[in-house]
Structure formats: C-alpha cells, structure tokens
Chains A and B, each alone.
Chain A
Amino acid sequence: MSAHQALGGRIFTKPFLVLLLIFVVGLVFMVERFSSGMGAVSNLNGGFAWGIWVVFDVVVGTAFACGGYALAFMVYVFNKGQYHPLVRPAVLASLLGYALGGFGAFFDMGRFWQFYEIFIPGNWNFNSVMLEVGLCVAVYIIILALEFAPAVLEKFGMHGLLKSLNKVLFFLIALGVLLPTMHQSSLGSLLIAMGHKVHPLWQVDHMQPVLALISALIMGFSIVIFEASTSAVGFSRKSEASLLAKMRQVIIGLLSTFLIVRLLVLLVQGKLGLIFAADFASLMILLETALFAIPLVILLSPERSSRGSQLLIAAMCMLMAGSLYRFDAFLLTFNPGPGYSYFPSAAEIMITLGVVAFEIMAYLILVKTLPVLHREERAL
C-alpha cells in the first residue's frame, strides 16, 4: 500500500478559474511571440538582451524549483527520513518549475527552431557556463520526471515497471542532487563573464557560484515550507509546522553562511562603502540583506519557529530575498552602458504570469489526481 494518496475533489475551483484566465491571456501573447517575433511583445534591447523571461523564468524560477533538490539533500544525503512525506510534492513542484523554466527559456530563445544545436556534442564550447546550465537543466528535467514517475506508475498500477525503476532510483536521486548543485552554482557563474555590467556589489567574481548555490538551497527549503503551508491552508490539511520547524537548524546555517560570505567578499574586495552610497543599488542591497536577516531572526527563536504563520512569513522573506538577489544582479542594477534601460512590457509580464499560472494549475490538477501528498494519518 502506498504511503501517498490522491487528494481528490473538484478541479475547477474559483482560484483555478482565475489562474486559467491569467493563463489564457498569457497564451495570446505567447502566440504573438511565435508569430511576430520577440520584438513584438518584449522590451528587450541591445543592452538588455536578457529580460524577465531569462531572469524570472529561468534564473529565479529554477531556484524556486529547488524544493526537490533541498529535500533530496536532507532525506537521502543527510539521512533525515522524517522529511520523506514532503519529498514527493516537492519533486512535483520542482519538475513543474524546471519544465516551465525550460519552456520559458524557449520563449527567450531567439533561434528556437535550432534549439537542438546545443545538444550536439560537436558544437559544445566547454568554456561556456551557458552550455553547462543548458545541458544540466535539460538532463535534470528528465531526472525529475523519472523521480516523479513512481506517482504515475502507482496510479496506473504498473508495478513491474515501478519495481525496476526503484532499483535504479538511488542513482537517479544521486544525480538529482549533483545536477542542481552544478547548474544552480553556474547560474551565478553566468554573472562573472558579464564583468563591469554587473554592479560591483553583485559582481563577486569567484564567489558567484557559492552565493548562487547557497541562496538556491535557501529558496529550496523556503519553497518546501511555502508549499506545505499553502496546502495546509488551501486544502485544509493538517499543519506540518512541527515537521518544518525541524529544518530550522539547516536554514539558519545556510542563511548565516550566506550573509557572512556576502559581507566577507565585499570586505575583501573593498566594496563595503558602496552599501552606504545612498543610491538605488545601496537601497537594494540593504533591502535584500534585510530580507535575508528577518527570517534569521524568526528562526533563531524556537518559540516563533514553531508557529506555522511565522514559518510562512520567514519562507516568503527568503523567497523574496533570493529572488531579489537574482533580480538585482541580472536586471535591476545591471548596467550595460549609458543610455540603456529596460522594464518588461505588459505582454512580457503576462507571458511569464501565464507560465506561472500554468505551473500552479498543473500542480493543483496533479495533486488531486495522482498519489502525491502523504497520507494524512501517517503524517507526523
């Protein structure tokens, strides 16, 4: 008997219909992008070649989808079996997040009809961080699909296949830990080659991969808390606050490491003064640091972190902190040279929102129809 069960219930709920509406509006612009070209819907220009499609859908989006990665790390590497109930929904969210990140990348791909060129080994440029990211993400999507496959196989009673999959699952899980480690750090390394265009406060050269990886893990844990909290609220399931609270030691460790590394790097590079330059960048780094620091304050108090609401607020802060860190570096303080500016067009935002809406809709449908969530009575 499986430890998981489908949630069941109506699919077309009110929130679902709102999401559907957003998706449909997004779809209109998606069609336009693939009929009239990128220029027709986006504000991308010669200086800002990467807009929110890359920065939100891929760079931030895949970090949001690190729940599966973070939990796999906890459960399988550090052998914390008690988090097992959270793994499958997290893997589903990761699968959807990554798949749609890949989908979003497709919108952004200027020569989408030639996407396969990146998979041809003869073309590979081993100096390119982008190559590593592209290939890694593509493989990881497949791994995530395989990791999630048991839910589908269970549903359709394909036990033979399930058994053989389970035999190699350990290897898939190992890969599933390695691959995000590689490409989440590389997403940070992308910034190195941009050199002076990245604001000095965010251009930390050699430490880019380290900061990117730690913040991705932070966001991964946050999204686990966020998902558990929202399904507790949304599906009126039992709060998993007690279970989530136990993650706090790890998150505290990650948060403090991040903040210490961040400040140390700026200190070593002699850029601390820029924090107090009283300009837009200094405002942004203060905001970002505050968003990293608030959850630290919440989690350091055992009393606070036992409360679901405080955990949710902490998680939301960390998600915003990680996102802002990425947005700041790639867009908000990104400066390709005098005269260039960028703010996404409404159409561009709608496409991204459409993708996000689709992701949430798919999640809702799948948890209601497939054995994803843990059986209530077995929950800790």
Chain B
Amino acid sequence: MEIELDYSSIEKRLGVTRRTFLKFCTGVAASLGLSSQSAIAMANAIADPKKRPPVIWLHGQECTGPTESLLRSEQPSMEHLILDLISLDYHQTLDAGAGHSVEHIKKQSMLENKGKYLLVIEGAIPIKDKGIYCKIAGETMLDLTLEAAEHAAAIVAFGSCASWGGVQSASPNPTGATGAPQVLKDKTVVTIPGCPPNPANFIGTVLYFVTYGKLPPIDAEGRPKWAYGRLVHENCYRRPHFDAGRFATEFGDDGHKKGYCLYKLGCKGPETYNNCPSLEYNNVGGNVWPIGVGHPCFGCSEKGVGFEKAMFNELSDVKTHTPPNMFPAIEVRESSSGISTGAAALTGVAIGAAVGATAMGARKLDQQEKDQS
C-alpha cells in the first residue's frame, strides 16, 4: 500500500513529526503482533480525519486511575494523539464543560452516531438496590451504562473495576459493584484490566479498532490476546531464579537484595495474565514495574487474585505448565531399551540353532538305532 497522504496536515494536527508518527504506528503494530503493512494501514487510518470514531467515556465507581495513567503515557504527545485520533465527545474527567450542557452533548452524539461510537467504561457499576450507590446527573451508573451500550459499535471496559468490579467488588462488596461484562451480558465487552491498566494496552486495542473497524481477538475474559495472552511468570526476568529454587523469603533479606524470585513473598505473577514484563510501565524505562523494583506482583489485572488474595501471605497457584515439554510424564523413564535388529536376529539364531541341532540329533539317533538293530 502506498502512503499517499499529506503528512504535513498530520504534523500540524497532532503536533508530531512524520518520523515520530510512523515510528509510533510501527511500534503499536509490532506490540499488537501485526506486520509492517498493518503499521502503514494504521498510519493511514489515523491520518484520515474521517475515520475518527466518536467516543463516549463513562466513569463509575473508581479512582480515575485508568484515565490518569493514560494521560501520563509517554509516547510522543500521546494525549494529543489520542484526543485527535478519536473524537472524544464525552469524558467526565477531561471535558472542559460541565453540567446539563455536557450531558446534552452526550445524548446528541449518541443519537447522531447511533451504532458508530465507541463506548469506554471506566469504573465498577454498583447493582445493589437498583444501582443507587453511583449516580451521575441524577441517573444511576447502571442505567447510563445500559443506555450507552445499546447502540455502541464497540465497548471497552478500561481498568480492573470496569472489567470485573475491581477493589469495590472485594468482599463484603456492600454496593454490589460489578464489571461491565457482567452487566452487559449480551454484548461483547473488551476488557483492559489492570490497576491501573497499562495505557499501551488500551491504545493498541483502540488503534486496532480504528484501523480495521473491529476489535482484536480476545480471550474468555474479554481481554485482547495480544496483551494478556501470557502469564507475568512466563516472561519474568526473575524466572531463572524460580527455576533454580532461589527465593527471597523476606523483604530486604539476602535473596531479595540479590534479585531472587519473589514467589515466596506472595508474587502472583504465576497466575496473572499481563504483558508487564515486556512493556514494563508507562515507558519510564530502567526495568520500572512492580517486580522490577522488588515488589511481588499482586495480580491487579486478574479477577479472583488482585484484591482477593492476601498480598504477601498467600502464594499463587502456578499456571505456567504446558505439561508436555516441561515435565516428564509419570510413565517416562530415564532409559529403557527397545529391541534392536541385531539382538533380535542373534536371539533367533541362537534359539533356532538349539532347536535345529536337536532335530538333527534326533534324526541321527534314530539312524544309529536302526543300524544297530
């Protein structure tokens, strides 16, 4: 595909150089596991202002962590890119306006872009007592979500709270906090869990949507496979220590100082699916991500692990094993010998010779006896 677009307009619009822009597209395509062709398709999609999808962004029960982390993402002028790449029609944190006017714009946009807009949900949705524990503009989050989801082209649940309820849903869960996929049972909801989630996982997913008009392949939990396909444990740089049985047993002990495996400190990497070991966090660099700075992974992006299991005292269930190669099966032995052709032939010859000799001997004996009589 040829790049026919005039990049000068993009440079002006996004405030980045052409080179930086293409580098970004290629980087995103690569992290999505797509080819360089896709990077160009992506660049074309972004450069085309007509393709910018309108976005409705709802906040429920949460700390605004996902938005905050997205704002701090370090790609060149990321917020510019994102804000210009999509047409952010409604976002409770970022909207300059407030009150009835904003709510009005939202309703209008949803009506105008029926079936075309992208719905992003951030935060949990309380469903207890008809959802009265979270209201925006007099309406419950539950109703707002159902309303916005009705005609959305795609729905993305951003952050752990939106993905399954997050910290609010931890026991005893007084408000009945629930994730978007559970509320919108008949809709496909892409989840980008994490507390806070890695903005790169969100941007990549959205760019995929912008480029191809559909959502990337997802797993049973609604997570894009390109970002959540592997356990933290699988790519963890401390994995060799785990395999060699070298563990830190206390914060600050000798093993901890030496960078040993944090499993015994309750690291949930072995049961948490995320790409933290490869992406680290927010492009700070220098191995900055929880395990990198010596803290066990607490499983923020894994339902049933983060906010559920004790952070340090409870050990994780290791889920890495794809048993065939890693472990010998019960019936596999170190050495066992099959039958070789030579050995089989020798055995045959030996037994055959014994039987043959007996037959010959018997004949001769008969002969002798006949001669004697």
Contacts and interface: CB of A to CB of B under 8 A. Distances in A.
Given A233-B361, A312-B358, A312-B362, A344 B343 contact: yes
B157 to A, nearest CB: 48
B365 A308 contact: yes
Given A47-B333, A339-B332, A346 B340 contact: yes
A38 to B, nearest CB: 12
B343 A345 contact: yes
Contacts of A345: 337, 340, 343
A284 interface: no
Contact of B340 (A232, A241, A343): A343
B342 A313 contact: no
Contact of A349 (B334, B337, B347, B368): B347
B363 interface: yes
Contacts of B333: 45-47, 339-340
A321 interface: no
B363 to A, nearest CB: 7
A370 interface: no
B101 interface: no
Interface string A316-336: 100010000000000000000
5 contacts: A312-B365, A338-B331, A341-B337, A343-B338, A349-B350
B341 to A, nearest CB: 9
Size bracket of the A interface:
20 to 34
Interface in A296-317: 307-310, 312-313, 316
A369 interface: no
Contact of A341 (B338, B340, B368, B369): B338
Size bracket of the B interface:
20 to 34
Nearest to B366: A309
Contact of B368 (A43, A308, A316): A308
Interface in A23-47: 43, 45-47
B72 interface: no
A302 to B, nearest CB: 15
A350 interface: yes
B331 A339 contact: yes
A233 B368 CA distance: 8
A282 interface: no
B326 interface: no
A353 B346 contact: yes
A353 B337 contact: no
Give 9 closest A-B pairs by Cβ, nearest first: A43-B337, A308-B365, A309-B362, A346-B342, A338-B331, A339-B331, A343-B339, A339-B333, A316-B358
B338 A307 contact: no
Interface string A228-258: 0110110000010100000000000000000
A180 B136 CA distance: 100
Interface string B83-104: 0000000000000000000000
A73 interface: no
Nearest to B341: A346
A80 to B, nearest CB: 23
Contacts of B361: 229-230, 233, 309, 312
B335 interface: yes
A103 interface: no
B6 to A, nearest CB: 69
B336 interface: yes
B364 interface: yes
A363 interface: no
A342 interface: yes
Given A45-B333, A341-B337, A313 B362 contact: yes
Interface in A43-58: 43, 45-48
Given A307-B366, A343-B337, A343-B339, 19 more contacts: A46-B335, A48-B337, A233-B361, A239-B365, A239-B369, A307-B369, A309-B361, A309-B365, A312-B358, A312-B362, A313-B362, A337-B331, A338-B330, A340-B336, A341-B336, A341-B338, A342-B336, A346-B342, A349-B350
Contacts of B337: 43, 45, 48, 341-343, 345
Contacts of B331: 337-339
A144 to B, nearest CB: 24
Contacts of A312: 358, 361-362, 365
Contacts of B336: 45, 47, 339-342
A46 B340 contact: no
A320 B366 CA distance: 22
Given A45-B335, A339-B336, A341-B337, A232 B368 contact: yes
A10 to B, nearest CB: 20
Nearest to A45: B335
B366 A308 contact: yes
A225 to B, nearest CB: 11
Contacts of A353: 346, 350
B369 A46 contact: no
Nearest to B359: A313
B335 A313 contact: no
Contact of B343 (A232, A310, A339, A343): A343
A343 B336 CA distance: 9
Contact of A45 (B332, B334, B339, B355): B334
A338 B329 CA distance: 11
A312 B331 CA distance: 45
A241 B365 contact: yes
A46 B334 CA distance: 8
Interface centre among A309, A340, A342 (most CB of B within 10 A): A309
B365 A229 contact: yes
B164 to A, nearest CB: 43
Nearest to B333: A339
A47 B363 CA distance: 44
A377 B334 CA distance: 63
A101 to B, nearest CB: 17
A117 B358 CA distance: 42
Contacts of B354: 316, 320
A342 B333 CA distance: 12
Contacts of B364: 233
